[in-house]
């Protein structure tokens, strides 16, 4: 574990004016809060926040970010609160720690719909202060470096999460070194045999050819010395995951790969970059199509470099990146360069991107997406795709993902231009709309009045923005006709099960299916994007139990010892299908709580009493009581209809209490016996569709106590 003096000295190397007293206070407070907590490896837990702080110090970040790293788990895992952190270290640090806590609590490995919501929250957190993401990325990097101490199943989950979300995010922010390390650490978990095989091939290759990196580095230094250019040359073999990905993409074996070495040439002046490029191309033959000028056309995260690939010593292909020292700082730290320090002052790097503008440009692209699938499509294209840079006829630059078409180009300029597109010219030549645009090409969009988007464009467009705009336009063209047809289809379907397709029932279906309103629901139903079965089941889902015998209550929970029994906590009334934990009681067995139960905070300082539990998969009997808070109209027969509806959902009312009687409404607590969380959703959906039900919610206001089932 890094000592406080060593951490302070690490920060002082780039920031002699650091507030040593503040860092020491944060170190001591974090160590005190995490006292008695240990990691899976057996190390004191506080070794993790210190390591995260050290990673951020290597990026030369300011005191507030370092302090946040030291405290980033205190609000979540200790008795520390936002108010306490704010009082001791200021509201800026408290906001950052709270932001990291909220990100940590996101369940990123979930269904696509939930994942889309989590990405929205992620970008929202980024828009408030990007340093939250920097701390979270450093947190994930250290966790991946020490992942071997985790259970194998959890290692795989974390590795997938890292490969799918955190590594691309680091790359999108310009922190390429972190992306490469995160990918390689995840690769070690997800495909250890492939990684070991590549490392063995490298060792064998090195024995056969010697140190190729050192030889090529010396060759390049010799070329630069002859040209009179003062520059540093850095060479390395590429990471195992990068090589494996190239093998997969190009469908070739290791022996046939050539560009497995990368070199960086760091100059002092921008004009020297082009001089280096000329010297390298004069000495070695350039590989066609592999040159990129990110100096004249920088990436949105501030990245600038010249990229080229040449046939080097013995015909081996090598990638060369040429940049200045300031460009290199941005290339190493990406958007984080905005906060980096040098010699005690915020570094004045002209290439560092303003994080507020960067996040604003990023989030703008996602705000207009109407549904989760389109949002995820836009996110993945933005985070994962390589870019091409095209020009309008006036010379303006348009950035697109690789593989984009003139349709994408048209919508990137303006939605109106996209809708009116009838053709395109690339470099003055008329081309089909499905043509893939390439770097540096000039694209001219041909438009016509009266043109409307075609359904076939969805097969041509590749960007989320274009596809979302086309879908919206296609829905709008025949919306009125589709709404009318959808209403008739819904009426017929509901009558078939002796129900009425009332506006309230359709509103309930729209909410369940995450659509903005009932007209949107009816339009999608009318144009066959939804089926009547989906709409009907959104309100009255099929409640038939799954095949096989029901799971007895005494073995419903997995994770208990043979002699342990359990009771459900009345404070949260967890149901099969929900995430749960257990709290042990001496002489009273185990009480099962929902993972989000507020009562669990009372046991934060007693980790020895916690049990990792989960429900047995399969059909459960309808014996698990849940309390519903229902407000109904005070009218004849309403309560009877409510009871009938619950009975139709194969649920039983075990208790009923009136808590508020008004002339026009009654509020009552219904205790309903259910099978699982899906059964609860079905009951609530059915009641929400009833016109005399004004409000319904799951009630969790009961004082913590034990319940029999």
Domain boundary among 190, 213, 241: 190
Q: Are residues 498 and 522 in the same domain?
A: yes
Q: Which of 290, 291, 231, 295 is nearest to 264 (CA)?
A: 231
Tokens at 457, concatenated: 């464009």
Q: Are residues 21 and 166 in the same domain?
A: yes
Q: Are residues 212 and 290 in the same domain?
A: yes
Domain boundary among 565, 592, 615: 615
Is residue 123 helix, strand or coil? helix
Q: Are residues 339 and 375 in the same domain?
A: no
Q: Are residues 281 and 402 in the same domain?
A: no
pTM over 0.75? The answer is no
- CA angle 294/352/182 to nearest 5° reads 75
Q: State residue 13's pLDDT score.
A: 87
Burial (Cβ within 10 Å: 0-12, 13-18, ≥19) of residue 665: middle
Domain boundary among 539, 570, 587: 539
In a domain, 609, yes or no: yes
Query: Which residue spans within 516-641 are E strands per DSSP?
Result: 557-558, 566-569, 580-585, 589-594, 610-615, 624-633
CA dist 271 and 323 (Å) reads 10
* Per-residue pLDDT tens digits for 269-308: 888 999 999 999 988 888 877 788 888 888 776 788 999 9
Q: Which domain holds residue 684?
A: 624-707
Catalytic hit among 20, 58, 77, 578? 77
Under 8 Å between Cβ of 15 and 60: yes
Catalytic hit among 58, 76, 488, 519? 76
For residue 98, the number of C-alpha atoms closer than 13 Å in the C-beta half-sphere is 14
* Per-residue pLDDT tens digits for 66-109: 999 999 888 878 888 888 888 888 888 888 888 787 766 655 54
In a domain, 352, yes or no: no
Q: Are residues 136 and 17 in the same domain?
A: yes
541-to-496, 503, 650, 677, 678 alpha-carbon distances in Å: 14, 18, 12, 13, 10
Residue 354's CB is within 10 A of a number of other CB atoms, namely 11
In a domain, 196, yes or no: no
Say whether 76 is catalytic.
yes
- Please count the structural domains in the chain: 6
Q: Are residues 535 and 561 in the same domain?
A: no
Percent of the chain with pLDDT strictly greater than 90: 16
* Per-residue pLDDT tens digits for 299-347: 776 788 999 988 866 667 788 999 998 888 887 776 666 666 555 555 5
Residue 477 has φ and ψ, to the nearest 5°, of: -60, -45
Under 8 Å between Cβ of 80 and 38: no
Q: Are residues 62 and 131 in the same domain?
A: yes
Burial (Cβ within 10 Å: 0-12, 13-18, ≥19) of residue 542: exposed
- Which DSSP string corresponds to 460-472? H--SHHHHHHHHH
Say whether 77 is catalytic.
yes
- CA angle 492/498/501 to nearest 5° reads 50
In a domain, 548, yes or no: no
Q: What is the CA radius of gyration of the chain?
A: 30
Residue 709: pLDDT band (50, 70, 90) is very low
In a domain, 635, yes or no: yes
């Amino acid at each position: 574990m890094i000592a406080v003096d060593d951490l302070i000295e690490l920060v002082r190397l780039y920031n002699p004016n650091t507030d040593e007293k503040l860092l020491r206070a944060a170190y001591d407070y974090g160590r005190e809060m995490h006292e008695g907590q240990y990691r899976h490896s057996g190390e004191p837990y506080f070794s993790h926040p210190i390591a995260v702080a050290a990673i951020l110090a290597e990026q030369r970040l300011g005191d507030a970010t370092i302090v946040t790293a030291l405290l980033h788990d205190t609000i979540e895992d200790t008795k520390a609160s936002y108010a306490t952190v704010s009082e001791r270290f200021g509201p800026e640090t408290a906001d950052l720690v709270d932001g990291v806590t909220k990100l940590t609590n996101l369940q990123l490995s979930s269904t696509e719909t939930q994942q889309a919501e989590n990405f929205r929250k992620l970008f929202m957190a980024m828009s408030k202060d990007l340093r939250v993401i920097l701390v979270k990325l450093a947190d994930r990097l250290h966790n991946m470096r020490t992942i071997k101490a985790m259970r194998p199943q959890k290692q795989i989950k974390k590795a997938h999460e890292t490969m799918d979300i955190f590594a691309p995010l680091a790359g999108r922010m310009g922190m390429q070194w972190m992306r490469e390390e995160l990918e390689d650490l995840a690769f070690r978990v997800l495909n250890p045999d492939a990684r070991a095989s590549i490392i063995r091939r490298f060792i064998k290759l090195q024995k056969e050819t010697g140190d190729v990196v050192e030889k090529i580095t010396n060759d390049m230094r010799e070329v630069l010395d002859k040209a009179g250019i003062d520059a540093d040359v850095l060479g390395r073999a590429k990471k195992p995951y990068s090589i494996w990905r190239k093998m997969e993409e190009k469908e070739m074996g290791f022996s046939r790969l050539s560009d497995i070495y990368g070199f960086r040439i760091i100059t002092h002046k921008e004009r020297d970059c082009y001089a280096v490029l000329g010297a390298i191309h004069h000495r070695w033959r350039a590989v066609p199509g592999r040159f990129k000028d990110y100096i004249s056309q920088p990436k949105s995260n501030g990245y600038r470099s010249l990229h080229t690939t040449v046939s080097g010593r013995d015909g081996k292909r090598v990638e060369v990146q040429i940049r200045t020292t300031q460009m290199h700082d941005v290339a190493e730290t990406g958007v984080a360069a905005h906060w980096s320090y040098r010699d005690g002052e915020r570094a004045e790097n002209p290439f560092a991107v303003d994080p507020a503008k960067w996040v604003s440009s990023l989030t703008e692209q996602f705000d207009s997406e109407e549904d989760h699938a389109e949002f995820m499509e836009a996110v993945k294209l933005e985070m994962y795709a390589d870019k091409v840079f095209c020009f309008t006829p006036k010379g303006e630059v348009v950035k697109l993902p690789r593989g984009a078409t003139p349709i994408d180009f048209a919508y990137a300029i303006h939605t109106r231009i996209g809708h009116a597109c009838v053709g395109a010219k690339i470099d003055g030549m008329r081309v089909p709309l499905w043509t893939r645009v390439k770097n540096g090409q000039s694209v001219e969009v041909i438009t016509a009045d009266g043109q409307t988007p075609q359904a076939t464009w969805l097969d041509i467009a590749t960007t989320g923005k274009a596809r979302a705009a086309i879908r919206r336009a296609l829905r709008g063209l025949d919306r009125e006709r589709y709404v009318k047809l959808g209403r008739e289809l819904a009426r017929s379907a509901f009558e078939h099960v002796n129900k009425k397709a009332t506006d309230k029932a359709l509103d309930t279906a729209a909410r369940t299916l995450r659509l903005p309103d009932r007209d949107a629901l009816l339009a999608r139903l009318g144009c066959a994007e939804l089926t009547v079965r989906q709409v009907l089941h959104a309100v009255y889902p099929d409640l038939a139990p799954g095949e096989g015998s029901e799971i007895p209550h005494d073995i419903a929970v997995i994770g208990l010892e043979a002699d342990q029994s359990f009771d459900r906590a009345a404070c949260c009334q967890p149901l099969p299908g929900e995430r749960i934990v257990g709290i042990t009681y001496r002489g009273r067995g185990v009480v099962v709580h929902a993972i989000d139960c507020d009562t669990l905070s009372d046991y934060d300082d007693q980790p020895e009493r916690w049990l990792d539990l989960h429900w047995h998969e399969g059909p459960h009997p309808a014996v698990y009581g849940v309390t519903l808070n229902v407000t109904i109209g005070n009218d004849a027969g309403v309560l009877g209809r409510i009871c009938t509806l619950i009975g139709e959902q194969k649920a039983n009312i075990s208790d009923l209490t009136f808590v508020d009687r008004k002339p026009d409404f009654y509020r009552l607590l219904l205790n309903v016996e259910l099978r699982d969380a899906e059964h609860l959703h079905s009951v609530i959906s059915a009641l929400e569709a009833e016109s005399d039900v004004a409000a319904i919610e799951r009630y969790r206001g009961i004082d913590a106590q034990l319940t029999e089932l």
